[in-house]
């Protein structure tokens, strides 16, 4: 018997999965923290002016909340091919244990960008990250939209994420336009 394919989303997949799924559930994974440390030159920025999107960092004792999607078996190969394309700029698939609010658990896949990929930007002061995000725009829209939609979705779960909420607050405080924040 085959196991269902579950995909864990913790960034744009939270509010814009853009693939067929049979079930959507709020979930969390342990041992990881979400950070805006990955560069985006294909969705939320462009070459020479990358945006910043989230990746996961190993962090003992942390929980990262997001959304788990159960993919119909008939669609799994197509969904994975589409996600591999969508996440092509530095993300790799990793198996994880997904936890649900009802105490249930299952194995799933998550895409993580590691420091070894060429678009990895790494840590920076929060105000510098916010300034870069405020200026960035790519084929998928302004980078500020990514932050706002992720923050909105996490609040609706409800799930707390200090890093995301701090960036969202900085962007709102400064008007979130490219001219509003200077590095």
**Exactly one of 73, 87, 92, 145 is catalytic; which is it?**
87
For 33-65, b/e burial (b = at least 16 CB within 10 A) is bbbbbbbbbbbbbeeeebbbbbbbbeeeeeebb
How long, in residues, is the chain? 183
Give yes or no: 179 in active site: no
> Following CA atoms 150, 3, 87, 169 in sequence, which dihedral angle do they give, to the nearest 10 degrees?
10
Cα 176 from Cα 130, distance rounded (Å): 9
Q: Where are the alpha helices (DSSP H) in the chain?
A: 76-86, 126-135, 143-156, 162-173
Host H or E run for residue 115:
none
Angle CA 115–165–97, to nearest 5: 55
Q: Quick check: helix, strand or coil at residue 58?
A: strand
Cα 22 vs. chain centroid, distance in angstroms? 21
Catalytic residues, by residue number, are 87
């Amino acid at each position: 018997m085959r196991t269902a394919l579950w995909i864990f989303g913790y960034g744009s997949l939270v509010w814009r999965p853009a693939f067929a799924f049979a079930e959507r559930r709020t979930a969390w994974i342990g041992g990881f923290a979400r950070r805006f440390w990955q560069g985006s030159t294909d969705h939320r920025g462009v070459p020479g002016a990358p945006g910043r999107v989230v990746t996961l960092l190993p962090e003992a004792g942390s929980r990262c909340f997001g959304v788990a999607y159960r993919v119909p078996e008939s669609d799994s190969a197509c969904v994975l091919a589409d996600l591999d394309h969508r996440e092509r700029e530095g993300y790799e698939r990793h198996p994880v244990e997904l936890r649900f609010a009802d105490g249930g658990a299952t194995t799933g896949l998550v895409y993580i960008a590691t420091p070894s990929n060429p678009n990895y930007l790494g840590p920076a002061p929060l105000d510098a990250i916010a300034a870069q995000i405020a200026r960035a725009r790519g084929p998928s829209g302004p980078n500020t939209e990514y932050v706002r939609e992720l923050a909105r979705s996490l609040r609706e779960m409800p799930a707390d994420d200090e890093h995301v909420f701090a960036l969202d607050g900085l962007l709102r405080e400064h008007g979130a336009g490219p001219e509003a924040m200077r590095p």
